[in-house]
Amino acid sequence: MAKMVRVLILDLLVERAEFGHGGNQEVIRPLLKKSDVEVLLLTPQMQSFESGLKAGQEDEITLKIEDVPYWDNEYPFWENNIVELESKTVNFNRIIMPMLSDEIIMKNWVENLSIDALICSGSRRNVSIWEEWMGPASTLMRVVANSGIPTLGICFGHQLLCHSLGSQIKRADSLSSGIWELKLTELGKNDPLLTSHLESNSEIFGLYTHQDHVDTIPDSCNVIGTAEHNAITAIRVKDKSGKPLPAWGIQFHPEAARKRIERAYEWGHITEEEFVSFKGEHDGANILSSFARIVSENTS
């Protein structure tokens, strides 16, 4: 068995159990096929800036209820949660993150955590409607992506990663929800995240629900996938010499497993119109498996 993998998740959809904590489980599931996994959760959208000062005292400090004055009580607060996945026990632990935009301090904090991957979830918030906590979160994403640690930004996470690297984010007049085909660019046709599972001439589909769009391409990124309604659907980060890094942003939701969608509809977390638009198959599970393989290769 390989060494335990430590995954840091920006848990930005925590108030939506199926697409938040449930989505996190779907992201972690394929990693468990090759190693044990420990998950560290960050909730900067609900954490006080004052509590972020504690992160400078120690690297891994458990998040307490008093540290999250903005907690959305639609979802009960917990510090730790043990989940059985793939016949394994996974510890999900909430920790305090530095609430600042200093790259040097953030880089030192990340290095001391010794993480093997960073994942940023979707959110009901919007990069186009900026909130103060997004500054530290975007700094974290930029630092980790540029460090060579495998990084995956999903939906809001895609937008935040791109914004952190210089993109403009624009808000559309209406919400886009549904399943669209992903068209690969020339660089995307050989990208390990998007194509590792494909047979020749296979189509790729993603499930989308968003209103913000990445509008410009950062100099430090290549576009690897587009969709009919969303030009900059998938990007890969590159270093200063142009070499691709194991860091991606994808506008669609690979974690949206069918059972999660059905329960979210039953619980009133998505509308009937959204539920209908989500009917159909998409390649999310395969893409998450590809990311798990990339993490495994990077840590071996």
Where are the chain's structural domains?
2-299
Q: What tens digit of pLDDT does each residue of 67-89 get?
A: 999 998 778 899 999 999 999 99
CA distance 112 to 109: 5
pLDDT over 60 at 262, yes or no: yes
The 3-class secondary structure across the chain, one letter per residue, is CEEEEEEEEECCCCCCCCCCHHHHHHHHHHHHHCEEEEEEEECCCCCCCCHHHHHHCCCCCECCHHHCCCCCCCCCCCCEEEEEECCEEEEEEEECCCCCCCHHHHHHHHHHHCCCEEEECCCCCCCCCCCCCHHHHHHHHHHHHHHCCCEEEECHHHHHHHHHCCCCEEEEEEEEEEEEEEEECCCHHHCHHHHCCCCCCCCEEEEEEEEEEECCCCCCEEEEEEECCEEEEEEEEECCCCCEEEEEEECCCCCCCHHHHHHHHHCCCCCHHHHHHCCCCCCHHHHHHHHHHHHHHHHC
For CA atoms 236, 196, 8, 227, the dihedral sign is: positive
Contact 146, 237 (CB under 8 A): yes
Greater model confidence, 267 or 91:
91
Whole-number Cα distances in Å, 188 to 44, 199, 221, 246: 32, 14, 12, 13
According to the model, what pLDDT value does residue 161 have?
Answer: 98
Question: How large is the C-alpha radius of gyration of the chain?
Answer: 18
According to the model, what pLDDT value does residue 58 have?
Answer: 75
CA distance 31 to 186: 28
Q: Could you tell me the pLDDT band of residue 201, with boundaries at 50, 70 and 90?
A: low
Tokens of 121: 């979830």
Q: Could you tell me the pLDDT band of residue 197, with boundaries at 50, 70 and 90?
A: confident
Q: Could you tell me the pLDDT band of residue 263, with boundaries at 50, 70 and 90?
A: confident
Q: Could you tell me the pLDDT band of residue 38, with boundaries at 50, 70 and 90?
A: very high
Q: What tens digit of pLDDT does each residue of 100-127 get?
A: 999 999 999 999 999 999 999 999 999 9
pLDDT over 80 at 281, yes or no: yes
pLDDT over 80 at 15, yes or no: yes
Q: What tens digit of pLDDT does each residue of 139-151 get?
A: 999 999 999 999 9
Contact 106, 140 (CB under 8 A): yes
According to the model, what pLDDT value does residue 244 have?
Answer: 97
Chain mean pLDDT for the chain: 93
Close Cβ partners of 203 (under 8 Å, ≥ 6 residues apart): 181
According to the model, what pLDDT value does residue 265 have?
Answer: 87
pLDDT over 80 at 200, yes or no: no
Q: Could you tell me the pLDDT band of residue 16, with boundaries at 50, 70 and 90?
A: confident
Polymer length in residues for the chain: 300
CA distance 251 to 229: 11
Tokens of 43: 């909730």
Q: Which CATH number fits domain 2-299: 3.10.129.10, 3.40.50.880, 2.120.10.30, 3.50.50.60?
A: 3.40.50.880
Q: What tens digit of pLDDT does each residue of 144-191 get?
A: 999 999 999 999 999 999 999 999 999 999 999 999 999 999 999 999
